A = this chain, B = another copy of it.
């Protein structure tokens, strides 16, 4: 028996209320376009459930009607993972209204949150309770924890605290059959069968819908201090990283690499920002140390460690922030690289990761290959060196138009990604696959791995209704 289309929408309205089922173009529009504005999909409806039970009922109705479901959080993803395709058959399932912080447990250092909570609200709730939720990334004012979990988001604190995966102890998930799985455990050890939690984390909504999570909180450091260090080369940056890890252990909470070109771009487009060094240097590292004891302890540790790097000529020069304001200023330089690049014009971006030991050779080899193929092209290379994660962006040669250069994107991607593969790296470090990198994933992944992924997808979502066209 085939259901009439009107019946289907009426069924959804009966679950969430008629005003929570949008199906007019104007109402749906804000949910259909991706964050960077590169793609606008179509949908049958946008549904805004208010509870896990409502999510389950909506998914169950979609399963009966064989309607694709596209889960959506803050819609800040960069790989077209949370917008529907152009087909128009899908229902967009917005988790926005599931935005309660259900519980904070100070002795267990956990927080129980719903998927639609904004990351920044979670950070603030943790701080109000005297604790730290360390996940931090550019979109934190808009992105939701459900999206962070579904993409296993990274950010600037991974070196010390891990990816989102490492910050989650338990999940509540609505399965592709519309059942609620209560895996909301706040346990640090639990060996009772397969690790379903980590299977749903990073699955980009293709296996089920994350509706709530138990997050791990950390003690708040008493102080954090930064320094900018000038270096000869990426290898020297690695040497500095090793030195700091040996001397500072877990007190090293940030280590970012930036090339000379990155700082030139920032200086050109944001002249009001601090210029740490009078003369240019080939590479720079932004170092952050945190102390659970005191600001004086952080400062002494920084002075001794950076002092040792200067004394042994490992570093060329260094600027140590002597206040929180100065620390913020140095971070601001790092955070302004992307905006400065955007102001300079469009470029071809790569979010890659590598074994740390492979990074110096990777940069040299890939820079050379790009120069050979596109003489004069400009590589803007920066990123979370401590995690092996580079944002390796390629801009056109001086004088060549940015739009024209974008037409060469496939050839540029191929050079960069093949070089990544040669170094046993990853073509998506922290952004995920979505629809954007799906074909590339199929090209670079071993067949046996793709086969296992497909088998798991078929096992948990046999009707193939969960976010189709993403990842696989």
Contact = CB atoms under 8 A, between A and B. Distances in A.
Interface of A: 105-110, 151-152, 154, 158, 162-163, 165-166, 175, 179-196, 198-199, 201-203, 207, 219, 221, 238, 242, 245-251, 290-293, 301, 353-358, 384, 387-389, 424-433, 437, 441, 444-446, 448-450, 452-453, 455-460, 471-472
A193 B356 contact: no
A271 to B, nearest CB: 33
A353 B180 CA distance: 24
Given A193-B433, A193-B441, A455-B459, A426 B166 contact: no
A199 B202 contact: no
A184 to B, nearest CB: 8
A13 to B, nearest CB: 27
Given A108-B355, A199-B199, A431 B194 contact: no
A349 to B, nearest CB: 15
Contacts of A355: 105, 108, 110, 186-187
A428 B109 CA distance: 21
A76 to B, nearest CB: 15
A442 to B, nearest CB: 10
13 contacts: A107-B238, A108-B357, A108-B388, A188-B388, A189-B426, A191-B202, A192-B444, A195-B199, A195-B201, A198-B199, A219-B249, A456-B456, A458-B459
Contact of A107 (B189, B190, B357, B437): B357
B245 A430 contact: no
B196 A202 contact: no
Contacts of A427: 192
A387 to B, nearest CB: 4
Shortest beta-carbon contacts, A-B, top 10: A249-B292, A250-B250, A459-B459, A107-B357, A198-B198, A189-B429, A455-B459, A190-B426, A186-B355, A108-B355
Contact of A357 (B105, B190, B219): B105
Nearest to A384: B189
Copy count, this protein chain: 2
Contacts of A452: 175, 181, 194, 196, 460
A192 B426 contact: yes
A248 B428 CA distance: 35
Contact of A108 (B108, B110, B356): B356
B193 A445 contact: yes
Contacts of A192: 426-428, 433, 437, 441, 444-445
A346 B446 CA distance: 50
Contacts of A186: 355, 424
Q: Among the interface residues A105, A196, A249, which one has the most CB atoms of the partner chain B within 10 A? A: A249
A185 to B, nearest CB: 6
A33 B369 CA distance: 58
Contact of A456 (B105, B154, B450, B459): B459
A149 to B, nearest CB: 12
A427 B189 CA distance: 10
Contacts of A353: 187-190
A448 B249 contact: no
